[in-house]
Amino acid sequence: MLGIISGTILLHGKGGVDEMKEKRIDTDYGEALVFLSSRAVMVPRHGIDPGNHILPHRINHKATMTALKSLGVTEIIAVNSTGSLKHHLPPGTLVVPDDFINLTGVPTIIDRHPIHITPRLSPDIRQKWMEAARHCGIDVVDGGVYWQTTGPRFETRAEIRLMSRFADLVGMTMASEAIIAGEMEIPYASLCSVDNYGHGLVDKELTMDEIIRCSRKNTEKIITIVRTYMERMGT
């Protein structure tokens, strides 16, 4: 079973997932909202209520991943909105990152035993992302480092200058998802949509309205790639 984590753009058939049924699942970490179909399990990480958007620092990643595991998910693909830390990665670019940085606390399901995992993004799923994009004739950058911040605020100009020395993308969700997926031994990799330049990277004010406007430009491309990914793996 394929697990998909995204914002709201892939819901209600737009991502090629038909007859999705809403289901709320109780876990040891709280309730998780999922959408089920014969092809996949989809999680809207920010919820489905525009008036009650779940901010990044309030997402219950542990409940989400536990629910996916309980439903028999064996691999997870994620779509993440990001800011660019490099001038050569303008808004509108799609990237499949190969590593990430998180220097703040992240959620974990390990709290009783001294178990240490080596976090990583699945090479196999990364390759499937790239193959799906190539099959669609859509350009996707192969590799890049994602730096996760806590949110919900944007980063300062000084923080962006620092991050840009070591990473290519900045976001607020992917590392948390990847780490817990790894703890649960579920392969995970992300397709990142570059929706803005980091604060101060260019002489243009960073606003949420601008980010939303740019993210919509990538919507159809992302939907096409996700649909192709699913078709190629036979789901």
Helix (H, G, I), strand (E, B) or coil at 222: helix
Q: How far apart are CA 139 and CA 21, in angstroms?
A: 32
Q: How far apart are CA 5 and CA 151, in angstroms?
A: 19
pLDDT value at position 205?
74
Q: Looking up tokens 């994009």, which residue turns up? A: 133
Number of other CB atoms surrounding residue 207 within 10 Å: 11
Contact 71, 36 (CB under 8 A): yes
Q: How confident is the model at residue 110 (pLDDT cuts 50, 70, 90)?
A: confident
Q: pLDDT tens digit string along 200-212? A: 888 877 777 777 7
Q: Which of 5-14, 29-38, 161-170 has the lowest mean pLDDT?
A: 5-14
- Token digits for 156? 């300062």
Tell me how far the alpha carbon of residue 220 is from its chain's centroid. 16
What are 32's strand-pairing partners? Answer: 25
Radius of gyration of the chain (CA): 17
Q: pLDDT tens digit string along 62-108? A: 999 999 999 999 999 999 999 999 999 999 999 999 999 999 877 88
Burial (CB count <10 Å: 0-12, 13-18, 19+), residue 147: buried
- Under CATH, which number does the domain 2-232 receive? 3.40.50.1580
Contact 18, 40 (CB under 8 A): no
